Amino acid sequence: MSALKPLTGLKVVAIEQAVAAPFATCRLADAGAEVIKIERPEGDFARGYDDVAAGQSSYFVWLNRGKTSVALDLTSDAGRARLRDLIAGADVVVQNLRHGALERLGFSFEDLRRENPRLITCSITGFDPDGDMAARKAYDLLIQAESGLCSITGGPDEPSRVGVSVVDIATGATAHAAILEALIARGITGQGTAITVSMFDVMADWLTVPLLNHEGGRTPKRVGLAHPSIAPYGVFETKDGKQILISIQSDREWGKLCERFLGDVSLSQDPRFASNVNRVEHRDVTDKIVAEAFLQRSSDQALADLTKADVAFALLNDMAGLSAHPELRRITVETPNGPVTYPAPASRFDGVTRPVGPVPELDEGV
């Protein structure tokens, strides 16, 4: 089992709140690191986001398993002294407090690394910490809006947020990967490093394709459950009212769909549909032809025929569908209010899902 916990012996001090930093440190805890979560005396405000997980916050239960909670009043001399003691023995320090908050409390990462050159620090911010917007508050939906993500999300009539905290999760995953890279580098050089991860930068990186399309003269439009640059790629309804999403990724797949599902192989040679660029240009006609073929079939027939045609497809599910999905793997996590079951981490090692630690009560101590 020890081989499945590669970060055993690593000490992480996480001065964190909400989602982004807790996501990163949760993954470190899953891998065996000792993660000491520093909370305000009243607790991480994410503890109060909702009460659906055995009377506790779904966010907190999801992202804080395997950690130890230490509540500190960092405005007090005693609280700051305790934090300094904890950091003195740390390998990694992660923080996502408001811009400049730690420095104002006397915890400059530059000074900490001068005292301990092996220390890896990771600061998660909303915007460039040296930029004009550094002091602006930044939360998930705000960055979705500021980055332009909302402008390409939703249907034609209005923009929309992504239905999960995609900015926070992406930022946490980016920070996690950067910390692991820094640990590898430290193993080679013996030196730590200072990592900064901006939520805005993470989203800008993820938006490279729509940005390049815009700068290339093809500004993406909101197309709901269609794809802005691939066709046919979207949801179609069967004659019994079920919705199925298909994705045609290549002209070869289009040919298969024409022959085995649309029943008209000549469509694959029609100059309006012969290439993806042509199909996107004539999306209305393309989608109409495909929609008519779906309306001639029941959902069972459509799924069977799509399988025979070797076409990529998915059912348009909801949370009830996910809850009962045969592919859903779960773990059970112990919490102060009893066990909670939820989706397992995606990574498995030698076919095994790592065991995870319990969710801490506020101020368990170290």
Residues known to be catalytic: 227
Q: Are 66 and 30 in contact (CB under 8 A)?
A: yes
Query: Is the separation of the CB atoms in 344 and 330 below 8 Å?
Result: yes
Pairing of strands 34-39, 11-15: parallel
Place of tokens 């003269």: 217
Residue whose entry in the numeric block shows the structure tokens 């609280």: 79
107 token code pair: 């915890």
How many residues in total does the chain contain? 366
What is the secondary structure of 1-50 as a DSSP string? -GGG-TTTT-EEEEE--SSHHHHHHHHHHHTT-EEEEEE-TT--GGGGS-
DSSP letter string over 198-229?
A: EHHHHHHHHTHHHHHHHHTT------TTSBTT
Taking the C-alpha atoms of residue 313 and residue 278, their distance in angstroms, rounded to an integer, is 22
Contact 279, 254 (CB under 8 A): yes
- Whole-angstrom Cα Rg for the chain: 25
Sheet with 11-15, edge to edge strand ranges: 67-71, 34-39, 11-15, 92-95, 120-125, 194-198
Tell me the C-alpha distance between 84 and 104, whole Å. 14
